[in-house]
Structure 1
């Protein structure tokens, strides 16, 4: 890693944090945090912790939505059960229900191809490219011109980076585009499902326990990375061999205790801690209520449509799980915002910053106009957000989405590759094909029709001038019976075959879903251009305001770390429960608690073999002497969000002690503001993982590979 560049660009962001636990830190910030890390209990050298050339950070990987880590020299990857759930579902069918029964490959040859599109991304570099991104960007550019210039610069940087074979690169904005970093990763395309415990362990408690404490869920599973015999990254082939990572995490052999230092490394998705007070208020007063209701209706429609149809239940299991998870999180964020007075907190912080700007003519000259511009743009953007939620519901119709992707692919192929939209360049061909292939095992025509009809009802609630009139007219002309009766897009080979056809063939097609895609395209393109214009103006205003926020924080001696954006971060804290009036949360849950919850039905139906051994206190070497039992899950104060699922939890020596998999419902408001009094992360304890592998599922082959065999 290029420490000198990264440190120079992040040093100005650092000051003493308000709480040791708060912050999703960039790797290059570790040396400047050294004293705080050591004080908190870190036993590694802080500079080594931030070094992407050595463990532990170079053993941390992304799954493109979840986080994970190498835990063996043979490319074995540990992550959450819910992160491999899509691959478990994809490989399941009636009579082969891995969702319920679990899956364990006895040999390398038994390991199953993961769902199409599965990837393991190995972090290699994270470097500052702000100067290159700002080349040619001036205040004279219009919004769309600014957007296009930044996008051209971004594509050029990515293209240069990806001249290295098998690399996947991306440039992400930090502080609203005040700074940019390029993230370089090795892309491994052959991913295989190795092991997932039974659903009664991996998803014990289901939606009832989701986002709750106490928790007794063994939320873990394993993939393996494969490459060609010459070490190159290629799609699945029988002759491929396990990838040899440069580093892998050692499984801790010392017990984790209350108060111990822990850290989590992964790829957190998105937080909004630097949004303006007006954005936050609109989100909680209008957007979230609509979003939560839309997701609740969506889940209910799926449940009703698949009831009594086992094949359809399996096909939609992953989709339903994702919808249920997020709708519950939204409820938690709404409640959490009230509990911590989020809106009042944001109003006060906003007022303090604006007063600081107004108190000095130089600061007013530097940041005042940007604040005015940002306020106007936020108001403009807020108006479109609720409508966008309703309009987007039609994308739940998988054949319509497939047709739109295919037609857009054809239209983009009419341009030189460098001028195509992100997601439609030559570099995206394989992932596009895999995305279209996934449909075959996650689609049922009857269910899809129900969801499409429901979506059209929501779509119609938006004002007519904001809807796509040609699309609506074409749907009315074709009607539902013909849409689903005459299309051939439900056939995978037919669907994939459209990838190489020119736009003219789409425009002449009689396939009803293709006709919908062609009718919708002009309006979608016009809406996209309007969004780009607004995004360009937003970037100009927000980046300037964030420069002011950085200066304000530095003057106050505060940290201003960037919002999460899918890039590699680490966070640290301690193993700790919490208490409030009349309620005490101990930091560990145990085997006894799991047995007490067991009903043998529904969401609380762990395998009999597991329950029998727990009742017999057959804990083996995995028992905790101080607790006097087998730990299952634990709480910590580390700062995480979506995308951190599957992140390795490490002790003070950088050793693997578990996996982060959830937060508590009252603390999910941390996407907007961290509060040390309520924020807790839930981890599955590595000792429960190892016990399940050893005592329940007989995964001794994997235990030996991980260095913890008998």
Structure 2
């Protein structure tokens, strides 16, 4: 079977001179095939100890939520980004009445702070199961049936794996299903806070500036419970986890030009989007999203009552909307000034020239591109509609009524496990109990009236007949009719009383269907349409997966013809990125050096601290050419010997489009420098024991 690779943009390689940058997040099994890519960037496999990387370093890397972490001692110490676990730390501290503004250090293991719901997984085995899955898929299946069959086969493989290994097993697909990996992981559920630095220079996570001075790190410890072997044992014995490998810390750090490897679990990228997809996203979808967010913020400002119990909730919602709008506006601005649309179109022209250069390729690959374009056009209509529905879903009472009816239908159908039903019921119960702090009737009606107007302006293909009928929208949007219907709906319901809502948690579908409550009637009327939309989205997803799989085969063939290896889009599996420590030139006559220093930090904070030259020049953060897939910027950073030299935590402004492309000249990742971490630890005598545990390579 031919080895599968992903697309590395050929045009960029041809027209731009090397700047010591390697695009892509590469799978560990691809390391031996990376020689051509690294050589083109004036790196080589000989620059890295590949054997040590595969057989030792990667065994010390763990997945921590959506981030990466590394074991840095044989006593279970983990180093990771604080931004990855900030919520868990805040919750744990709040439960114990602790204030962590000045940092935290556990002087004994008994003082380490347990972090609930923070799970760490350590990969123990990876098996390619592509053949096993493909040979069980009958030919002639529809896209939806094929997706369902793959899901069933994957679930069976996972269950069999878990029975044998007694560990967590997951089938992960890459290349839109051209390749499947069965990943076995050890799940460590007992993770505790050991050290949190006292960070005076807290920065926003969406800060794309350089220089940065962010001490984004934290030290944790993983524990493991010994298995209970007899009924006489009441409690399992808990001890520190002894990892199969751990990374030594490089006390020497890195210099400008040094090669570095970033290891991470990036969740998602869209590097293989077509030009028409980008035109839709940045020409229509994101501008419309920004408009909707701004209008939602204006509604909150206009209609919310500052004296109501829900005022705080709506203020927080407004801040979230403003934050998201700010990010989207930045992306739009960055897109307008980027080479992304030009490079994407140029690459597709080259691809078409290659296809048209052979009658066989025209016959085999031409229909794939045509079908992908047709499906993208259909999906764009669906996405426009769903964007409006997002804001209609801010109406609390109608959505709660619909969720309650769906729960009743699931319970009656009997095809959902009791555990799943109980979990859904618990979630709904919490929403209901929180209603007095999260519901304002004026805002509920205001959101509905405003965004029903936007919905009514959608293309006919995006419309929902049941919703059109209910609000008399078939002949256009009449604001008086819609307002009257909304006022009658909210006036004739008892669902604004949490006690009434709680009673509906246990009621049958028939009780919903015979109710005279206006919002219950609305939920029943919308249910078939809601289920139809869910099926439509599932069908669309399956069809797109099928055609993208075929499109990826076109790209593979094209790259094979060019002798180029390629990388898979990110999918939350273990990946590696290669690069060098390097500054960049964002503007004419401006050059950013690759290191920020303690001296710069002191100047930023206006601190008159007398430091010697060595301390003043100590690096705090550094830049590298390593790839990133914003917003998944967490990565453990290693030097070519496999020693830990930093933690990637952010990117520069030019990385804001990292989901879609990598700019060889100006994409830079921002890392926490290990030297600053060690220096900070050395400033407090309380950290003496912690420093003794760490393996520091001078």
Q: Normalising by the residue count of structure 1, what TM-score does the alignment of the two structures yield?
A: 0.78
Cα displacement string for residues 385-439 of structure 1 (whole angstroms, at most 9, x for unaligned residues): 132233234666899989988876786677898xx6xxx897x899989988998
Cα separation, 1, equivalents of 2:571 and 2:412: 31
Q: 1:9 matched to which residue of 2?
A: 3
Whole-Å Cα distance in 2 between the matches of residues 334 and 30 of structure 1? 35
What's the counterpart of residue 678 of structure 1? Answer: 666
What is the match of residue 247 of structure 1?
245
**Which residue of the partner structure matches residue 675 of structure 2?**
687
Q: What's the counterpart of residue 446 of structure 1?
A: 437
Whole-Å separation in 2 of the counterparts to 1:108 and 1:96: 19
Matched, 1:81 2:82: yes
Partner of 1:158: 158
Q: How does 1:57-68 map to 2 (within 5 A)?
A: 57-68=58-69
- Cα distance in 2, alignment partners of residues 167 and 475 from structure 1: 54
CA distance 1:184–1:309, change in 2 (3 Å): farther
Unmatched segments (≥5 aa) in structure 1:
600-610
1:640 to 616, 625, 628: 628
SS in structure 2 opposite 1:184? strand
Q: CA deviation at 1:531?
A: 1.5
Task: Give 1:195 shift.
Answer: 3.2
Aligned in 2, Cα 1:669/1:400: closer, same or farther, shift over 3 Å? Answer: same
C-alpha distance 102-286 of structure 1, shift in aligned 2 (>3 A): farther
Q: Is the 8 A contact 2:49 2:642 kept in 1?
A: no
Instruction: Report the equivalent of 2:335.
Output: 337
The answer to whether residue 120 in structure 2 is matched with residue 120 in structure 1 is: yes
1:702 Cα deviation after fit = 2.8
Are 2:171 and 1:171 aligned?
yes
Matched residue, 2:351:
353
Bigger mean CA offset, 306-315 vs 586-595: 306-315
- The 10-residue stretch of structure 1 (160-169 or 662-671) with the greater mean CA deviation from structure 2: 160-169
1:25 corresponding residue in structure 2:
26
Quote the residue 2:611 is aligned against. Answer: 617
Residues matched between the structures, number: 659
| Residues 94 and 172 of structure 1, relative CA distance in 2, 3 Å threshold | closer
The separation in 2 between residues aligned to 1:592 and 1:478, in whole angstroms, is: 61
> Is the Cα–Cα contact under 8 Å of residues 6 and 552 in structure 2 kept in the other structure?
no
- Name which of structure 1's ranges 73-82 and 327-336 shifts more when overlaid on structure 2: 327-336
**Match in the other structure for 1:547:** 553
Instruction: Please state how far the C-alpha of 1:688 moved relative to its aligned partner.
Output: 1.8
State the distance in 1 between where 2:395 and 2:311 align: 15
Give the secondary structure class of the aligned counterpart of 1:632: strand
Alpha-carbon distance between aligned partners in 2 of 1:294 and 1:697, rounded to the nearest angstrom:
53
Question: Where in structure 2 are the equivalents of 1:25-104 lying within 5 Å?
Answer: 25-34=26-35, 40=43, 43-49=47-53, 51=54, 54-93=55-94, 96=97, 98=99, 100-104=101-105
Which of 576, 579, 588 is the matching residue for 2:582?
576
The reply to whether residue 659 of structure 1 matches residue 647 of structure 2 is yes
Report the CA distance shift for 1:308/1:409 in structure 2 as closer, same or farther (over 3 A).
Answer: closer
SS of structure 1 residue aligned to 2:620:
strand
Query: 2:474 is matched with which residue?
Result: none
Is 2:455 the partner of 1:463? yes
Tell me, what secondary structure is at the counterpart of 2:181? strand
In structure 2, what is the Cα distance between the partners aligned to 1:216 and 1:524? 48
Q: 2:630·2:657 contact (CA, 8 Å) conserved in 1? A: no
* 2-structure distance, mates of 1:681, 1:438: 40
Greater Rg by CA: 2
1:463: how far off? 2.6
Asked if the contact 1:329–1:665 (Cα under 8 Å) also holds between the matched residues in 2, the reply is no
Equivalent in 546, 557, 565 of residue 559 of structure 1: 565
Query: Using a 3 Å threshold, how does the CA distance of structure 1 residues 389 and 11 change in structure 2: closer, same or farther?
Result: closer
Checking the alignment, whether the CA contact within 8 Å between 2:227 and 2:236 is kept in structure 1 is no
Q: Does 1:258 align with 2:265?
A: no
Distance 1:686 1:186, change over 3 A: same
CA shift digits 1:448-474 (9 cap, x unpaired): 659867764665345353397499999
CA distance in 1 between partners of 2:111 and 2:396 (Å): 31
Query: Which region of structure 1 is more displaced relative to structure 2, 406-415 or 677-686?
Result: 406-415
Cα distance change, pair 301–372 in 1 and its aligned pair in 2 (3 A) = same
Query: TM-score, normalization: structure 2?
Result: 0.80
Other structure's SS at 1:460 match: helix
Q: Is the 8 A contact 1:333 1:666 kept in 2?
A: no
Are the structure 2 counterparts of residues 480 and 356 from structure 1 closer, same or farther at C-alpha, using a change threshold of 3 Å? Answer: farther
Structure 2 Cα separation of the partners of residues 223 and 315 of structure 1: 35
For the residues of structure 2 that align with 1:590 and 1:310, how far apart are their CA atoms?
A: 47
In 2, are the aligned partners of 1:374 and 1:541 still within 8 Å (CA)?
Answer: yes
Give the Cα separation in 2 of the matches to 1:310 and 1:260: 56
1:79: Cα distance to partner?
A: 1.8
Structure 1 pair 404/158, CA: closer, same or farther in 2 (3 Å)?
Answer: farther
- Note the residue ranges of structure 2 that are not aligned, 5 or more in a row: 230-234, 457-462, 472-484
Distance 1:238 1:196, change over 3 A: farther
**After superposition, where does 1:307-322 map in structure 2 within 5 Å?**
none
2:592 matched residue in structure 1:
585
Contact 2:195 2:219 in 1 (8 A): yes
CA distance in 1, matches of 2:183, 2:101: 37
Change (3 A) 1:127 1:22: same
Give 1:562 shift: 1.2
Taking the aligned partners of 1:664 and 1:81, their CA distance within structure 2 comes to 19
Aligned pair in 2 of structure 1 residues 649, 432: CA closer, same or farther (>3 Å)?
Answer: farther
Q: Residue 670 of structure 1: SS of its match in structure 2?
A: coil
Query: Which of 482, 486, 489 is equivalent to 2:498?
Result: 486
Residue 594 and residue 347 in structure 1: after superposition, are their counterparts in 2 closer, same or farther (change >3 A)? same
Shift of 1:156: 2.2
Q: Which of 361, 364, 367 is matched with 2:362 structurally? A: 364
* Aligned match for 1:226, one of 223, 228, 235: 223
Matched, 1:279 2:273: no
Using the TM superposition, give the Cα deviation of residue 268 of structure 1 relative to its aligned residue in structure 2, in angstroms: 0.8
From 597, 604, 618, the counterpart of 1:597: 604
How far residue 251 of structure 1 moved from its aligned partner, in angstroms, is 0.8
Secondary structure (helix, strand or coil) at the match of 1:21 reads coil
Of 266-275 and 288-297, the range deviating more from structure 2? 288-297
Deviation at 1:261, TM superposition (A): 0.8
1:505 offset after TM fit, Å? 11
CA distance in 2, matches of 1:410, 1:199: 49
